[in-house]
Chains A and B, each alone.
Chain A
Amino acid sequence: MRRYFGRKLLVYGLTFLVAVTVNWMIPRFMPGDPVQSMIARANVSQPAAVEAMRAHYTSLFGFDLPLWKQYANFWAALFRGDLGISVWLFPTPVTDVIVRAVPYTLALLVPAILLSWWAGNRFGAFAARRRWLENTALPVGYVLTATPYMWLAILMAWGLGVVAGIFPVAGGYGFALRPGWSAEFLGSLALHWVLPFLSLFLVAFGGWAIGMRNMIIYELEADYANYLAALGAPRRLIRRYAFRNAVLPQITGLALQLGVLVAGALVTEIVFSYPGLGHLILQAIQNQDFFLLQGTFLFIVVGVLIANFVIDVVYVLVDPRIRTGMGGEAA
């Protein structure tokens, strides 16, 4: 088990290293000049002002130092929690901007991931080998997984928000309210949460249901299932055993799907102008705010790494083969 966690942590550590290095390299080695585009955005014409701005931004990125020193400084700043100053919300530090947005993204993502995984697995296991359900629900599942997250979000916002008028379609809470612990604010928060959550949930649900259905059919054909059936075990019991075996690959699948789910949350937030990380990314891109964009990138990477680790721990709890050092699928 120590070997299992050791390997995992090594991969995550290296991934973080790669992410930070990529983050550092992109502004320096990509075609295009970030300083130039930031100046262009400010729209000043006086040559003296342009020169001053160029000098300012160049020193902000640290472009005037030798490369190795730039790289060392980048890491040093990172460990101080300093990701630079946001250009869009000047002069707020990027870290502050992101920390304010993270709760919204987490509040959408965590319930959507967990509930869709749970419900999708349950439903997929239930639908397997039930002809009428397989013929009706599976095609729907395939359409759902193929749906781009933002499109389902747009359809929901349009159908349930604009046309039916049941839910609000923009923002994280009513525009007239100030964030606080009042009942009115919390109610508005909940109401604004429903549609983004639902559209994330539905797309993910389709994928889990199909995955589980395929896994459980595979398990139901395995020798142990046939043996149980030959012994005269009730179908429910056989299905329960099959389900427990089929869930393991689904846990691995959850780790593999994390990146896609996070991406889905980002575009969903953009559709609903939900004040989470997706909204920040949109603003950062529209305002050429590279520090904010790169800070958000690092936050997402760290979040995904932590989530991966949590899934690894869960896997160990669920799969006894890893605990006893016998290997198993994820080792």
Chain B
Amino acid sequence: MNREALHFAVRNGKLLVGLAVLLPLLALALLGPALAEGDPNAYVGTPAQAPSGEYWFGTTMFGQDVFAQFVYGLRVTFLVGLLGGGLAALIGMAVGFTAGYRGGLVDEVLNMLTNIVLVLPALAVLLVVNAYLGVRSVSVQALFIGLTSWPWAARAIRAQTFSLRSRDFVDLARLSGVRTWKIITREIAPNMSSYLFMTFILLFGGSVLIAASLDFIGLGPTQGVSLGLMLNNAARWSALHLGMWWWFIPPGAGITVIVGALYVMNVGLDEVFNPRLREL
């Protein structure tokens, strides 16, 4: 990032608001488990207690500490976003750069592949895959999310690459005999780095939402805790009808705030990098 972008970044309200929301939550996810030590699923207190000084977010129907679960769940949420979104971004970049730069038959084939994965409803595929997995873990969940959610990113990156590929500096590199791989990483990718970063942010948010849905349906990680699993448990043990709002509000709010902050940050970044959108 250059100094001009930084100048606008520290003055961009949306970006700052997004960061101000996201960073404390990230800190909580990283440091929280040190605060709430022990197994988040342990039965520690009186069941179905409302929030109090001792249990900040109350306890579940079985006497588990909702705050401890929330903190560990946050960590899983960030992890799924990072791994799933990261993998999707990598695949999207690989496919997008190759298709956009090479063109021709390679482009046709990759484009067809992209379109096929694009119309397949991701959650439905993930449901079937996860149902057959006997033991499910966060990383495997993220792996499959990454494998199914890359197509729109590939499309977008392909279009960007397409517009960059006939620029003079790329032609010059090609004429001087630079290898294709190097042209892509040295000439093309740096010129759309802001775009790539924003794509990653959106993929991150998407992974978090998909993982939450999977967990909620009951196909979450077999061990441990996540925000989606908390919602799943709350719904399964009728927290709704028992009026235990402290059980289902924090996990959903956590997901919403994280993803919402990411989206707002993304708009802010767009304004930082795109001079036409800057509010002066």
Contact = CB atoms under 8 A, between A and B. Distances in A.
Answer yes or no: do A and B interact: yes
A147 interface: yes
A46 interface: no
Contacts of B29: none
A308 B118 CA distance: 11
B259 interface: yes
A32 interface: yes
Nearest to A145: B263
A30 B133 contact: yes
Interface in A75-92: none
Contacts of A22: 125, 128
Interface stretch (B81-89, B182-190, B192-200, B209-217): B209-217
Interface residues on B, range: 35 or more
21 contacts: A11-B115, A11-B116, A11-B119, A27-B132, A32-B132, A32-B134, A32-B135, A146-B209, A146-B262, A148-B256, A154-B231, A157-B240, A158-B245, A162-B241, A263-B210, A267-B216, A270-B235, A282-B217, A285-B131, A296-B124, A297-B128
A267 B213 contact: yes
Contacts, number: 163
Interface string B105-121: 00000001001101111
B76 interface: no
Contacts of A226: none
B128 A26 contact: yes
A5 B149 CA distance: 25
A118 interface: no
A110 B252 CA distance: 26
A220 interface: no
A23 B128 contact: yes
Interface stretch (A13-21, A65-73, A101-109, A236-244): A13-21
Most B CB atoms within 10 A — which of A143, A169, A286? Answer: A143
Contacts of A151: 231, 248, 251-253, 255-256
B130 to A, nearest CB: 9
Contacts of B264: 139, 142
Given A11-B112, A162-B243, 16 more contacts: A11-B119, A22-B125, A32-B135, A146-B259, A148-B216, A149-B213, A151-B255, A256-B118, A259-B122, A259-B123, A262-B124, A263-B123, A263-B210, A271-B235, A290-B132, A301-B120
Interface of A: 10-12, 14-15, 18-19, 22-23, 26-27, 30-34, 37, 139, 142-143, 145-152, 154-155, 157-158, 161-163, 169, 221, 255-256, 258-260, 262-263, 266-267, 270-271, 281-282, 284-286, 290, 293-294, 296-297, 300-301, 304-305, 308
The 8 closest A-B pairs by CB, nearest first: A151-B252, A146-B260, A263-B123, A32-B134, A259-B121, A146-B259, A30-B132, A300-B124
Given A31-B134, A263-B122, A300-B121, A148 B252 contact: yes
B218 A282 contact: yes
B213 to A, nearest CB: 5
Contact of B240 (A33, A158, A294): A158
A158 B249 CA distance: 10
B269 to A, nearest CB: 14
Contact of A148 (B218, B255, B263, B276): B255
B68 interface: no
A304 B119 CA distance: 7
A297 B127 contact: yes
A180 to B, nearest CB: 28
B132 A26 contact: yes
A27 B245 CA distance: 39
B129 interface: yes
B219 interface: yes
Contacts of B112: 10-11, 14
Contacts of A19: 120
